Structure 1
Amino acid sequence: MSDIIDVQTNDQKAEDLKAIGWVSYALHLIVALGAVIPGAQPGAALLIVALVIDLVKKGDAEGTWQANHFSWRIRTVIWAGVLYVVTSPLWLLLVVPGMIAWGLISIWFLYRIVRGMVAMNKSQAVDA
């Protein structure tokens, strides 16, 4: 009896990780655009799904240029969350300072996602 072992090549693994990365970036982009465009809030659920994907698949990317992208997206979400929480008291003072702060954070979030997507398109790590 012969056992057939399905060994995934490094090229296939790299392509699978890249596909997962694009899905994650797409989810992040939808959330980022929703944060920047007034009235278009897709909700935090998509962001949580993308974050879980990144956390689960990060280990599979260890030792590849794509590991950098998983860390990049995770750090972006964590920093954005911290910044939103830290600036949330501004909404209690007046609406305008809260809107300005959250608008700037949303633009920064969008910038980080687009920057990561550009690097992914070039099959390169994101320069920190």
Structure 2
Amino acid sequence: MAETTTDDSLATFGWVSYVLHLIVAVAAVVPGAQASITLLLIALVIDLVKRGDAAGTWQESHYRWRLRSVLWCGALYLLTSWLWLLFFIPGWIAWTLISLWFLYRILLGMVRMNRRQAMDV
């Protein structure tokens, strides 16, 4: 019974994190939409705090998936930020592609979480 409760608790935190990531990801793709960086930070804190509890469960890969998605996305934004300074259109294209990639990863994670499947990391 305790394992089921822990699994349900991890799933609840996982879903909250995925929804917060989804809001940020959609806002990054939709022109004019702005999501607060606070939402992303809340999701990151949830993932960092709860990932230890998820160790050894099928949900562990989801916590790792979300953390890696944000870290890679942030690194790619930083690496391409100079394009905004020099050339508007290439910067916009790069950030749009990064944002779409982030949205794809979040949606894929949500689908697999709904199926109670681990992520293939």
* Shorter-normalised TM range: over 0.9
TM-score by structure 1 length? 0.92
SS at match of 2:44: helix
Matches within 5 A, 1:81-100: 81-100=74-93
Question: Alpha-carbon deviation of 1:44?
Answer: 1.3
Task: Report Cα offsets for 1:7-64 as digits up to 9, x if no partner.
Answer: x710110011001000000000000000000010112111011001100000000000
Give the Cα–Cα distance (whole angstroms) in 2 for the partners of residues 28 and 102 of structure 1: 17
Computed over aligned residues only, the root mean square deviation of the Cα atoms, in angstroms, reads 0.8
Give the Cα–Cα distance (whole angstroms) in 1 for the partners of residues 119 and 109 of structure 2: 6
Task: Give 2:3's aligned residue.
Answer: 10
Q: What stretches of structure 1 of length at least 5 have no aligned partner? A: 1-7
**Which residue of 15, 34, 40 corresponds with 1:22?**
15
Matching residue's letter, 2:49: V
Give the Cα–Cα distance (whole angstroms) in 1 for the partners of residues 9 and 42 of structure 2: 18
Matches within 5 A, 1:37-76: 37-76=30-69
Runs of 4+ in 1 over 3 A off after TM superposition: none
Give the Cα–Cα distance (whole angstroms) in 2 for the partners of residues 18 and 43 of structure 1: 24
TM-score by structure 2 length? 0.98
Task: Report Cα offsets for 1:68-100 as digits up to 9, x if no partner.
Answer: 000000000000000000000000111101000
Give the Cα–Cα distance (whole angstroms) in 2 for the partners of residues 109 and 43 of structure 1: 16
Q: What stretches of structure 2 of length at least 5 have no aligned partner? A: none
Larger radius of gyration: 1
